[in-house]
Amino acid sequence: MHLLLPLEDGPRFSSSKGAAAAILLAGSLSVLCAEVFSGASVLWFINPASWAFMFPLYLAHLLLFFNLAVLFRRTSLSSLYLWGVLFGMYESWITKVTWAGYMGQQPQWGTVLGFAPAEFLIIVLFWHPVMSFIVPIFLFETLTISKDPSCPVLAGHAAFLQRSRRSIALLILLALIGAAFLAFNAKFDTGSALVTLAGTAAIIAVLWYGITRWNDNPVSLFSLTLSRRGFSVLLIYCILLYVLSFFLLLPERIAWPLTILLTLLFYALVILLLRLDTPAVQPAEQIMPGQVIIGIPDLLRALCLATGLVALFCLLSPVGTAAGIILYVVCTAAGPVLAACVVLRIMWKHRSGGPD
């Protein structure tokens, strides 16, 4: 049993610098897992456009859907997956990838009712829910409880944060996927791939140092809950981002009205599933005394493993190509499998009326 805590805004920041560092850290973790580990943004930190567009996009989406999850008490792992699916749907309105394929490319499997099915399966049903949203949340929790084990985590997460064969295997898998995709999409350029990984890790380290240096109070994931004014500013930014990007970014890729209608219906389906999921009675819990959890040394070992694998895949490009292709197929297949499991779990809980 874990100690459940009432819903609170979390510890208050003792300085504006600490608050800014924590929020930027959350965005950096999402960029690491989503963009760096996909190889989509090689050397992103020396590109002004990445700081102006890509980084705020991931930061805003993570904050938006985490705050909505806490506000509506839909914080189970199933609900987090669904919030992550909504996160991934920006690829329809902003980049239009789920409609027209990756930028500069044709849809891999053609189109069905105006959708690019291959891209939809991996991006919306796997990559963004898992890599852009859920994994960064777990990493943020790992960092905070490594500093202060009394910090609250989302209810149900203590078991996943416990150091076990399963958690270590998941870290190894994360390093393998990230290394293979980064090396492949960096075109096996060892220097640019390693600098991208090391530079992003350095940004995260600096921000984490800033939190510990500038904030006297303990920081938890719930410290990312925004005030009403902060949430309003975030919401206005997201609305402007969607509207302006829809019309100004690659307008020739905008889908036909039927596809847009089906996209909206998909949103409605995901929101319905969120409503059916059991709301968290107490969305926070604490790690029990004596429970061994994943710590910063484990994260550093995973980072070292990813670094070594990036170098290996770049030096042995046929091995890197094979690993990238195999893992891409696995991730594509994992998307609908995860979605089906989440739907079945929510329907079962709804019918039984049981807790998460």
Average pLDDT, the chain: 92
Helix intervals (H) in the chain: 16-31, 48-49, 55-71, 77-88, 90-93, 97-100, 117-119, 135-147, 158-161, 165-185, 190-214, 228-248, 257-276, 296-315, 317-352
The predicted pLDDT at position 213 comes to 83
Q: List the structure tokens of 276.
A: 């059916």
pLDDT confidence bin for 44, thresholds 50/70/90: very high
pLDDT confidence bin for 354, thresholds 50/70/90: low
CA-nearest of 138, 142, 120, 127 to 34 is: 127
pLDDT confidence bin for 180, thresholds 50/70/90: very high
For residues 82-86, average pLDDT: 98
| pLDDT tens-digit series, residues 208-221 | 999 888 777 778 89
**What are the residues whose beta carbons fall under 8 Å from the beta carbon of 182, sequence distance 6 or more?**
36, 37, 38, 39, 42, 193, 196, 197, 310
| pLDDT tens-digit series, residues 4-13 | 444 444 444 5
Any idea where the domains of the chain sit in the sequence? Answer: 3-352
The whole model's pTM is what?
0.94
